Structure 1
Amino acid sequence: MKIDLSGKVALVTASTGGIGFAIAKGLAESGATVILNGRSDASTRKAKAALEKELPDATLHTAIADLGTAQGVEALLNAAGDVDILVNNAGIYGPQDFYATDDETWENYWQTNVMSGVRLSRALLPAMVKKQWGRVVFISSESALNIPADMIHYGVTKTAQLSLARGLAKFVAGSGVTVNSVLPGPTMSDGFAEMMKEEIEKTGKTLETLAKEFVMAHRPSSVIQRAATVEEVANMVVYVCSQQASATSGAALRVDGGVVDDIV
């Protein structure tokens, strides 16, 4: 299968590292013009330089915006212009006791993880529908189905993304635009590497070993019994954005290594 996204413009939010960067790279490798988004000029420039080094023929742009506010989303929309592919990857996460999670924290998670995708989709879908082609992807999480007891505030926002994506898919039904969710499980992202940095120094173990130990201790239902790579997650996203995936819409596609113990 050869995925060719030549002539398409893709906006990947929070794409200066981790899963977002891998998605941006995969889309650029497939010929799409990619708009990289980060919260600072330094991070976006660094990401663009890294991609240009690996893909010298890629067409890349940058857009600096913090998507935790309506103003930040507006700034991104003004910088991005018309796009054919929207990957809603921006999100925040972190463990916190439910009793200690105040309204401000809930609101921050809701604005960043959910409303950023609402606002971007509301603004960008009309042009896609008019062209009768477009792709919208929400990067949710296996935590949308396995709500973590220590991250209830996060899990709720990830579940909301599934509802949003399914509803939007039905809203634009028959238009040639597809809307889907992709649900990563434990992944060796930049965030995970940073979280494990002290443990790596203390034990001398590799990131892959620590990731496997984490999965077996905290996600023992995993079928692959290891963490996924960011590239493995990106592969699913790139496929969903392709012409070949034109019959897939309204789906919640898991790249969780089988963590969610469900056959549906």
Structure 2
Amino acid sequence: MRIDLSGKKAVVSGSTAGIGFGIVQGLAAAGAEVVITGRTRQRVDQAIERLKADLPDVTAHGVEADLGTAEGCQALIDAHPEADILVNNVGIFRPTPFFDIPDEDWEQFFQVNVMSAVRLSRHYAQGMKKRDWGRVLFLSSESALNIPTEMVHYGMTKSAVQSISRGLAKVLSGTKVTVNAVLPGPTRSEGVGKMLHEMAEEKGLSEQEMEERFVKENRPTSIIQRVADVEEVANMVVYLASPQASATTGAALRVEGGIVDTMA
């Protein structure tokens, strides 16, 4: 199967590093024009340079915006009013004991992880509906189903994102616009890498040893028994963004290595 996204424009939120950048790489390699977003101009420019080093012919744009705010989302929309593919990837996570999570953190997590996706989807999906073709993708998490006790506020946002994805798919019933959620597990992204590095230093372990211990102690039901690579998650997103995935909508597709211990 050859995925060809030539002539399609993709907006990927939170895409200067990690899973977001991996998704941009995959979409661009398939021929899509891409819009990279990040909180600082420096990070955005660096991501575009990295992308063009691998794919010199790619058409790539960059937008500096805080998508955890309505103003930041509007800045992105103003810069690029239309897209054929929207990937709602931007998100934050931070392990915090439940009784220590202040109201401000609950609000911040909701604004960044949930409302950014609501605002961008509300705009871009309308254009897709008018043109009768489009792909809206939400990056949820296995934490939407297995709410982590160390990050209840994060799990809450990922459950919300999955609900929005299913609901929007139904709103767009009968069109050629598909809406799906992708559920990664622990993935070797920039954020997870930093967390594991800090944990390894604290416990006096190598990063490889820490990664193995983390999976064993925190995600014991993992079937692959390892942290996934960014590309493994990006591959699923690129497929769902393709014409070949036209009959897949309203779904929650898991790339979490079998952590969720159900078959449905």
TM-score normalised by structure 1 residue count: 0.96
Q: d(CA) in 2 for partners of 1:8 and 1:130?
A: 15
Residues 208-258 of structure 1 deviation map (CA, whole Å, 9 limit, x = unaligned) = 443233111211100111110000000000000000000000000000000
SS at match of 2:120: helix
Q: Residue by residue, what CA displacement relative to the aligned partner does 1:179-208 show, whole Å, maximum 9, x if unpaired?
A: 000000011111122123342698573x44
1:77-96 paired onto structure 2 within 5 Å? 77-96=77-96
Structure 2 residue identity aligned to 1:124: Y
Q: State the shift of 1:101 in Å.
A: 1.6
Counterpart Cα distance in 1 of 2:142 and 2:203? 29
For 1:70, the equivalent position in structure 2 comes to 70
Tell me the residue number matched to 1:250: 250
Residue aligning to 1:219: 219
Once the two structures are superposed, residues 90-122 of structure 1 have per-residue CA deviations (whole angstroms, 9 ceiling, x without a partner) of 111111122222221111111111111111011
> What is the rounded CA distance, in whole Å, between the counterparts of 1:98 and 1:256 in structure 2?
24
Q: Is the 8 A contact 1:188 1:211 kept in 2?
A: no
- How far off its partner does 1:133 sit? 0.5
**Matching residue's letter, 2:242:** S
Match of 1:228 in 2: 228
Distance 1:209 1:26, change over 3 A: farther
CA–CA distance in 1 between the matches of 2:209 and 2:6?
38
1:184 is matched with 184
Matching of residues 76-155 of structure 1 within 5 Å: 76-155=76-155
Aligned to 2:262: 262
Tell me the amino acid that sits aligned with residue 149 of structure 1: T
| Equivalence for 1:197 | 197
Task: Give distance in 1, aligned partners of 2:61 and 2:203.
Answer: 40
Q: Which residue of 2 aligns with 1:210?
A: 210
Mapped partners of 2:227, 2:150: distance in 1: 20
1:157, CA displacement in angstroms? 0.6
Amino acid at match of 2:229: T
Normalised by the length of structure 2, the TM-score is 0.96
Aligned residue identity for 2:47? A
Taking only aligned residues, the RMSD between alpha carbons, in angstroms, comes to 1.4
**Other-structure match for 2:237:** 237
**Structure 2 CA distance for aligned equivalents of residues 26 and 34 of structure 1:** 10
Gap regions ≥5 residues in structure 1: none
Q: Distance in 1 between matches of 2:262 and 2:129?
A: 34
Structure 2: distance between partners of 1:202 and 1:92: 24
Give % identity.
56
SS in 2 for 1:61: strand
Aligned AA for 2:144?
A
Task: Tell me which amino acid in the other structure corresponds to 1:229.
Answer: D
Q: How many residues align?
A: 263
What 5-or-longer segments of structure 2 have no aligned partner? none
CA distance in 1, matches of 2:191, 2:118: 25
In 1, Cα distance between equivalents of 2:260 and 2:190: 23
Match of 2:157 in 1: 157
Q: CA 1:8–1:223 in structure 2 vs 1: closer, same or farther (change >3 Å)?
A: same
